């Protein structure tokens, strides 16, 4: 078995924007690019693809309009997002036979922008954990090191893009599910302000944490994605008005003397010292190149994993309905535990969760009265085992022994959940490697200031360029 992805001789390993340029100048055709992706998927052992719609994709590629923003680009869509006629499983055995009857709003907008919707990428069950391993599909592997996880819940998208299978793929981030896999696989991952890209067309309001976006190889790909997909929809009444010119305006925002608080652990996570040393190099680069002003701000977010889970379990319990508890044996162990917790939910516990969210919002607002950006790690450590369980060690330190069960388990999302609970944007930027595995630098910004985060990422991309895909054999 190969330790890195088995790939065809010539899948497109540049970013999606350069592929569109190649279509327009006649270097390659959309059908040729699609066939290369299909060939790469066929030979890959990453287990990143849950469903392949090859015939429909070929038909779309033949008719591709390459003047459109993503005209002719083959794309993956995360398993938790609806594509008409595709399996709508939520990555769970419970819904293995269910088929979607409509496209999500994001998929609709991608089609209108010329994308070739080709493959469904694997995810963790109901998006519940940061490891892509389910009873329905098995484990998805990290293209940088077979046997390690690409993260979750958008792990299949991350593995497909970093592994050279597809130029770009969709993701969703309810607790870090874009940023965590981006960090583990060396990709760019932006979680927008809550509501930036509309959900639906059957959007639920709770838990007020879920954001849509992409796993991308470049800053301009991410900006183009947001150009295409952002903007209000009446099917998601919490979605935001459209903001234009994301790609056009890259590199135009004045970052000089913006204040930045650098707190790698956000005051509650345990982050590996080796990773901090690598991240510090990128921080030093950004401070210098962007002429940022580092400020000392006290940050000590509570981990928030339990409160985050409680706010999500209400929707899960509703979706399972009267199938539960008879279906419990078909659920992964983590979702089984979650549903047992859900059975004990009361009005008081729901109220406590909302009070916790209100306090988090207050803390975030107080912090952003003193700084413009927060810089921290994306993940506590490099990618752990593909089969799981969720990591309870950091650089060999047993967190169970040092801190106990709750903090050890909560460490996995302690760095990403605060941005979800408060709705602020955050981005994971590739920032080097530890022991041959990627690490991500996370920058958290104020509401509605995603474009500033992209400009910071652009500085890193230009001054400390990252590998667009994992190295081949």
CATH of the domain at 63: 3.90.1300.10
First to last CA, the chain: 11
Please give the positions annotated as active site: 78, 153, 177
Q: Are strands 116-121 and 74-78 parallel, antiparallel or unpaired?
A: parallel
Residue 313 inside a domain? The answer is: no
What is the C-alpha separation between 390 and 124, in angstroms, rounded?
Answer: 12
Angle, in degrees to the nearest 10, between helices 30-43 and 54-62: 160
Q: What is the pLDDT of the chain when averaged over all its residues?
A: 95
Helix (H) or strand (E) holding 427: strand 426-434
Quick one: pLDDT at residue 3?
38
Residue 323 inside a domain? The answer is: no
Quick one: pLDDT at residue 339?
92
Q: Are strands 259-262 and 211-216 parallel, antiparallel or unpaired?
A: unpaired
Quick one: pLDDT at residue 473?
45
| Cβ-count burial 22-56 (b if 16+ within 10 Å, e if not) | bbeeeeebbbbbbbbbbbbbeebebbbbbbbbeee
Quick one: pLDDT at residue 55?
98
Q: Residues of the chain whose pLDDT is less than 70?
A: 1-9, 473
Quick one: pLDDT at residue 349?
76
Residue 469 inside a domain? The answer is: no
- Among candidate residues 282, 255, 242, 245, the one with its CA nearest the CA of residue 377: 282
Residue 391 inside a domain? The answer is: yes
Quick one: pLDDT at residue 305?
78
Residue 229: beta bridge partners? none
- 391-397-402-407 Cα dihedral, nearest 10 degrees: -30
Q: Could you tell me the strand order of the sheet in which 188-191 lies? A: 49-52, 116-121, 74-78, 168-173, 211-216, 188-191, 426-434, 437-445, 373-377, 259-262, 293-294
Residue 439 inside a domain? The answer is: yes
What is the C-alpha separation between 127 and 105, in angstroms, rounded?
Answer: 19
Residue 442 inside a domain? The answer is: yes
Residue 322 inside a domain? The answer is: no
Quick one: pLDDT at residue 4?
40
What is the C-alpha separation between 139 and 129, in angstroms, rounded?
Answer: 13
Look at the chain and report how many structural domains it folds into.
1
Quick one: pLDDT at residue 244?
97
Task: Print the domain residue range for 252.
Answer: 16-306+340-463
Quick one: pLDDT at residue 1?
32
Residue 472 inside a domain? The answer is: no
């Amino acid at each position: 078995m190969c330790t890195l992805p088995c790939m065809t001789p010539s899948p497109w390993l540049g970013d999606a924007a350069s592929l569109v340029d190649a279509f327009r100048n006649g270097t390659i055709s959309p059908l040729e690019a699609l066939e290369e992706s299909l060939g790469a998927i066929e030979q890959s052992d990453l287990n990143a693809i849950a469903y392949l719609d090859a015939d429909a994709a070929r038909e779309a590629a033949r008719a591709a309009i390459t003047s459109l923003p993503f005209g002719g680009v083959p794309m993956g869509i995360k398993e938790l997002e609806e594509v008409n006629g595709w399996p709508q499983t939520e990555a769970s055995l419970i819904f293995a036979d269910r088929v979607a009857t409509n496209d999500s709003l994001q998929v609709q907008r991608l089609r209108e922008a010329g994308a070739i919707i080709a493959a469904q990428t694997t995810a963790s069950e109901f998006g519940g954990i940061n490891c892509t391993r389910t009873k329905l599909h098995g484990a998805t592997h990290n293209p940088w090191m077979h046997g390690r996880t690409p993260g979750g819940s958008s792990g299949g998208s991350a593995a497909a893009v970093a592994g050279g299978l597809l130029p770009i793929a969709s993701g969703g981030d309810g607790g870090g599910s874009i940023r965590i896999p981006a960090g583990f696989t060396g990709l760019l991952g932006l979680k927008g302000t809550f509501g930036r890209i509309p959900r639906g067309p059957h959007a639920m309001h709770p838990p007020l944490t879920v954001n849509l976006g992409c796993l991308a190889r470049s800053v301009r790909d991410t900006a183009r994605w947001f150009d295409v997909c952002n903007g209000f929809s009446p099917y998601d009444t919490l979605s935001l008005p459209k903001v234009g010119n994301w790609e056009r305006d890259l590199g135009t925002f004045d970052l000089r003397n913006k204040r930045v608080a650098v707190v790698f652990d956000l005051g509650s996570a345990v982050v590996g010292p080796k990773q901090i040393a690598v991240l510090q190099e990128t921080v030093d680069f950004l401070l210098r190149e962007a002429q940022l002003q580092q400020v000392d701000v006290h940050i000590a977010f509570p981990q928030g994993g339990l409160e985050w889970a409680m706010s999500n379990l209400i929707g899960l319990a509703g979706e399972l309905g009267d199938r539960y508890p008879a279906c419990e044996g078909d659920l992964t162990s983590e979702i089984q535990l979650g549903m047992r917790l859900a059975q004990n939910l009361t009005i008081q516990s729901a109220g406590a969760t909302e009070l916790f969210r209100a306090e988090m919002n207050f803390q975030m607002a107080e912090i952003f009265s003193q700084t413009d950006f927060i810089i921290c790690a994306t993940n506590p450590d490099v990618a752990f085992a593909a089969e799981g369980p969720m990591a309870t060690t950091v650089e060999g330190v047993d967190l169970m022994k040092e801190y106990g069960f709750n903090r050890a388990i909560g460490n996995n999302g302690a760095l990403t959940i605060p941005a979800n609970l408060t709705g602020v944007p955050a981005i994971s930027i590739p920032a080097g490697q530890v022991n041959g595995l990627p690490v991500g630098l996370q920058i958290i910004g104020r509401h509605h200031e995603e474009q500033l985060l992209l400009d910071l990422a652009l500085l890193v991309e230009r001054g400390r360029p990252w590998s667009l895909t994992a190295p081949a054999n």
